[in-house]
Amino acid sequence: MKICELTYEDLVQNRTEIYQLFRESYSENFDANDLEITLLIKQRYQNLLEFVRDGSAICLGACANGKLCGILWAYERKLMGERRIHITDIAVCKPCRKSGLGSSLIEKLKQISRERGVSLIDLLVTQTNKNSIEFYFNKGFITERLQMVLKI
């Protein structure tokens, strides 16, 4: 298993794998039909390309047997005056889950954060995704705030 920062060229070369990773993740986390998921994937992929190109994104890939099996997309932001790294997306292909790929992606992001002098990493997680919530708690994440919605 290899963890590396992905370049714009890497993202273009691995477009099919990234689409599949996003599809698995978004299908599990969003109450949306296939068309809505497909449109979301296209938009997020284009955003990822743009932000990697302009240098504002941190994009890590996890490769096993020469194939992209996991991706982590994050960026630096300020919240209430504190510098943080926000994880936008993290996805590991189903066959590779519970193999340590996700943990390795988080560890690499922690290393990058320390190198930048940033001491906080945050993210949003879908409340019904119990496996991911347990994963993040096991990595030391705590609940800081709850995002709530009102359907009208």
Q: Report pLDDT digits (tens) over 46-73.
A: 999 999 999 999 999 999 888 999 999 9
Q: What is the pLDDT of residue 60?
A: 98
In a domain, 58, yes or no: yes
Burial (0-12, 13-18, 19+ Cβ within 10 Å), 49 = middle
Instruction: Determine the structural domain holding residue 90 and report its residue range.
Output: 2-138
Please report whether residue 143 resides in a domain.
no
Give a yes or no: residue 85 inside a domain.
yes
Whether 64 maps to a domain, the answer reads: yes
Amino acid at residue number 136: Y
Cβ(58)–Cβ(88) below 8 Å: no
Q: How far, rounded to the nearest angstrom, does the alpha carbon of residue 64 sit from its chain's CA centroid? A: 18
**Residue 148: inside a domain:** no
The CATH number of the domain where 13 resides is what? 3.40.630.30
- Taking only the tens place, the pLDDT of each residue in 98-147 is 889 999 999 999 999 999 999 999 999 998 899 999 999 999 999 998 88
- 148: confidence class by pLDDT, cuts 50, 70, 90: confident
Q: State the total domains in the chain.
A: 1
The predicted pLDDT at position 50 comes to: 97
